[in-house]
Chain A
Amino acid sequence: MSHDHAHTEPPSDIELRVKALESLLVEKGLVNPDALNTIIDTYENKVGPRNGAHVVAKAWTDAVFKSALMEDASEAVASLGYVGRQGEHLNVVENTPEIHNLVVCTLCSCYPWTVLGLPPVWYKSAPYRSRVVSDPRGVLEEFGTTLSDTVKIRVWDSTSEMRYLVLPMRPAGTERFSEEQLQDLVTRNSMIGVEQVRLPGVEDESN
């Protein structure tokens, strides 16, 4: 089953338990094996943070789209084809020179799948979930992000089915960039709020 271990190594307990559950569910006809592959393919290959980067770059370059995005983000991103699970009630929160937004789910792992895909391990981890609400500046430092004390931090704890996407600030020096070039600058982490978008080779200018 696993391709992550040498063939001589016995499968771990968790590998066995997952395999056993899958065998049982397939045998009982409770899951369709092809449907499992559809689910995996969707979240491994189709839905991911490039969707969000497209949304951000479009918002930076198209004022009408940005206005629609801030008004009703689910509808605006649907116009780009990004619809579905964990994006039904999307809200976009915009970073400014005065306000930096940051997203967490302290109770589980709520995350805007339609625009960012499945969350990274650190987002779902106890260290991030516990500390980012009480010590956001300290957590940001761990991501190499230093904000001036004059910048207000807004931490959004996703306790409901509202999902939050951060609209990062467009970096200076990108005035002539196309939407496609801008997309390439937008990182997943900047849309969660743990980083700012930078031009390669340019240091953080926010301090």
Chain B
Amino acid sequence: MYGAHDLGGKHGLGPVNPEPENQEPVFHTEWERRAFALTMAVGMLGKWNIDESRYARERQHPVDYLSHSYYENWLAGVTELLLEKGLISEKELAAVMESQIGEKEQQVVEVAADKESLRVPTPAQVQKILTVGGHTLLESDTTPTFTPGDRVRVRKNHTAGHSRAPAYVQGSIGTVVRSHGCHVFPDTHAQQRSGGEHLYSVCFEAESLWGSKAGNTEVLIDLWEPYLESIH
């Protein structure tokens, strides 16, 4: 989707202002620490995948996305997914918020957790999940259409769904430099449909993306085969 998250090449967002490396903590507040862990933990319930998580953050109103801090966007995304998948309800959240600020006793548990189909990982299982990771390389009996050296154009794709072809590269011509095999395709994965597509690193001269000012720079972007078309 052409959302606020698709930031490459946008102007006016100000200086980077990096914190000195040796002074930056992993988390800046306790709530960031908790928001990170909660998002990771409920992700392990297996009710959604990483592309659905990304899409949930991207679907926010652009003003919200850009004005939120990073972990506020995580919280917004995970809350949306928990609601959409029916694991919690708005009413439950409102009730627990009210009890937090002391306005009333918490008493509403509206949606029964479907314990039968949910596997809530123990600390040992969490450790294993973090260590094993989630591989996206798939077996495929199809032949990649492109090989390194091929010139390709990125298709225009004004989809409202999840996609990983940045707007700034759509319509531009580049050269395939690496073939990575067949990987889970995010556009369909975000709709919980399985399947993979061949993935390539494609190299773009900065001039072809931005005009003549950006000298002696290349931008390399990983793009799946459906994003690309041949140049003859």
Q: Which residues of A contact B (CB under 8 A)?
A: 1-4, 12, 14-25, 27-32, 34-40, 42-44, 48, 83-89, 106-109, 117-118, 120-122, 124-131, 133-137, 139, 142-143, 149-162, 187-189, 194
Q: Are B38 and A157 in contact (CB under 8 A)?
A: no
Q: Are A20 and B100 in contact (CB under 8 A)?
A: yes
Q: Do A120 and B123 contact each other (CB < 8 Å), given the known contacts A2-B31, A25-B38, A106-B6?
A: no
Closest chain-B Cβ to A108's Cβ sits at a distance in Å of 6
Q: Do A24 and B92 contact each other (CB < 8 Å), given the known contacts A4-B29, A35-B122, A130-B8?
A: yes
The B contact surface, by secondary structure, is: mixed
**Residue among B9, B79, B130, B184 with the highest chain A CB neighbour number at 10 A:** B130
Q: Are B38 and A22 in contact (CB under 8 A)?
A: yes
Q: Are A18 and B35 in contact (CB under 8 A)?
A: yes
Q: Are A159 and B222 in contact (CB under 8 A)?
A: yes
Q: Are B15 and A142 in contact (CB under 8 A)?
A: yes
The A-B contact count (CB < 8 A) is 269
Q: Are B222 and A158 in contact (CB under 8 A)?
A: yes
Q: Are A85 and B133 in contact (CB under 8 A)?
A: yes
Q: Pick the contact of A42 from B96, B127, B218, B222 — CB < 8 Å?
A: B127
Q: Are A133 and B29 in contact (CB under 8 A)?
A: no
Q: Are B168 and A29 in contact (CB under 8 A)?
A: no
Residues of B within 8 A of A21 (CB): 38, 75, 78-79, 82, 93, 96
Q: Are B96 and A20 in contact (CB under 8 A)?
A: yes
Q: Which 6 A-B pairs have the closest CB atoms?
A: A106-B8, A160-B222, A130-B10, A122-B18, A36-B37, A38-B123
Q: Do A153 and B218 contact each other (CB < 8 Å), given the known contacts A21-B38, A121-B70, A127-B14?
A: yes
The A contact surface, by secondary structure, is: mixed
Residues of A within 8 A of B54 (CB): 107-108
Q: Do A14 and B215 contact each other (CB < 8 Å), given the known contacts A20-B100, A42-B127, A134-B209?
A: no
Bound-state Cα–Cα, A14 to B42, Å: 19
Q: Are B123 and A109 in contact (CB under 8 A)?
A: no
Q: Do A27 and B109 contact each other (CB < 8 Å), given the known contacts A129-B8, A157-B221?
A: yes
Q: Are A107 and B133 in contact (CB under 8 A)?
A: no
Q: Are B75 and A18 in contact (CB under 8 A)?
A: yes
Q: Are B100 and A39 in contact (CB under 8 A)?
A: no
Q: Do A39 and B41 contact each other (CB < 8 Å), given the known contacts A4-B29, A84-B132, A134-B210?
A: yes
Q: Do A152 and B168 contact each other (CB < 8 Å), given the known contacts A2-B30, A39-B41, A120-B18?
A: no
Residues of B within 8 A of A130 (CB): 7-11, 13
Q: Are B75 and A14 in contact (CB under 8 A)?
A: yes
Q: What are 11 pairs between A and B in contact, CB < 8 Å?
A: A2-B31, A18-B75, A21-B75, A21-B79, A24-B88, A30-B113, A34-B122, A36-B38, A120-B18, A133-B168, A134-B209
Q: Pick the contact of B220 from A125, A135, A155 — CB < 8 Å?
A: A155
Q: Is B19 an interface residue (CB 8 A)?
A: yes
Closest chain-A Cβ to B133's Cβ sits at a distance in Å of 4
Q: Do A161 and B184 contact each other (CB < 8 Å), given the known contacts A107-B164, A130-B7?
A: yes
Q: Are A156 and B214 in contact (CB under 8 A)?
A: no
Q: Pick the contact of A162 from B35, B45, B180, B219 — CB < 8 Å?
A: B180
Q: Do A106 and B7 contact each other (CB < 8 Å), given the known contacts A24-B96, A29-B115?
A: yes
Q: Pick the contact of A133 from B9, B66, B75, B92 — CB < 8 Å?
A: B9
Q: Are B217 and A155 in contact (CB under 8 A)?
A: yes
Closest chain-B Cβ to A109's Cβ sits at a distance in Å of 7
> Which residue of chain A has its CB nearest to the CB of B45?
A30
Residues of A within 8 A of B218 (CB): 152-155
